[in-house]
C-alpha cells in the first residue's frame, strides 16, 4: 500500500512539475476610447467630425444672425414692408429649424460612420495582436469592471494601429 501511495504521489508531483512549465493563458484588456482618441486614425476621424460640426455651427450662426437682423428691422418702414418682413422672418425661422434638424442628423450619421470605421479597424488590430502574441482573450475595459492594470494593452494597440495606418 505504501508503494502504491508513493508511486501515485510521484506521478502527482511529476504532473505538477510539468504543468508548471506551461504558460498561463494570456489575457488582455483594451480601453477602446483611449485607442480612438490617441491613435492617428482616431484623431483624424475626430478632426473630420469636428470640422463638420464647426461648418454646420457657422452656417447656423449665419442664419441666426440673419433672423436677428430681420427681427430688428421688422417694425421699420411702411405697413406693406413690415408685413413682407414678417413673412420673411417666419420663413427664415422655419428654414433655420429645418437646417438645424438636418445638420444634427448629418453630424450623427457621420459620427456613426466614422465610429464604425475606426472600431472595425481596431478590431482588426486586436485580432492581429491576439494572434501574434497568443492571447487567449482580449476584453474591453467596459466589459471588465475590475482588472489588474498590468494586462492593459491599450498603448500596445495604439502603437500597432499607428504602425498599420502609417504603412498604408
Between CA 40 and CA 35 the distance in angstroms is 9
pLDDT at residue 45, rounded to an integer:
95
pLDDT at residue 35, rounded to an integer:
96
Task: Work out the pLDDT band at 53, boundaries 50, 70, 90.
Answer: very high
pLDDT at residue 22, rounded to an integer:
65
131 vs 14, residue with greater confidence: 131
- Chain-centroid distance of CA 152 in Å reads 18
Between CA 45 and CA 52 the distance in angstroms is 11
Between CA 94 and CA 137 the distance in angstroms is 53
Question: Global pTM?
Answer: 0.73
Can you list the domains of the chain with their CATH numbers?
A: 23-166 (3.30.910.20)
pLDDT at residue 86, rounded to an integer:
82
Amino acid at each position: 500500500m505504501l508503494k502504491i501511495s508513493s508511486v501515485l504521489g510521484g506521478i502527482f508531483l511529476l504532473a505538477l512539475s510539468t504543468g508548471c512549465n506551461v504558460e498561463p493563458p494570456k489575457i488582455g484588456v483594451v480601453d477602446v476610447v483611449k485607442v480612438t482618441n490617441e491613435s492617428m486614425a482616431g484623431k483624424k476621424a475626430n478632426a473630420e467630425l469636428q470640422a463638420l460640426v464647426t461648418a454646420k455651427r457657422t452656417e447656423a450662426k449665419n442664419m441666426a444672425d440673419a433672423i436677428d437682423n430681420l427681427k430688428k428691422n421688422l417694425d421699420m418702414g411702411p405697413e406693406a414692408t413690415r408685413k413682407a418682413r414678417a413673412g420673411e422672418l417666419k420663413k427664415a425661422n422655419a428654414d433655420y429649424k429645418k437646417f438645424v434638424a438636418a445638420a444634427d442628423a448629418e453630424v450623427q450619421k457621420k459620427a456613426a460612420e466614422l465610429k464604425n470605421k475606426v472600431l472595425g479597424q481596431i478590431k482588426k488590430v486586436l485580432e492581429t495582436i491576439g494572434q501574434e502574441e497568443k492571447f487567449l482573450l482580449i476584453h474591453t475595459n467596459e466589459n471588465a469592471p475590475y482588472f489588474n492594470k498590468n494586462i492593459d494593452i491599450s498603448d500596445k494597440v495604439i502603437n500597432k494601429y499607428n504602425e498599420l495606418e502609417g504603412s498604408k
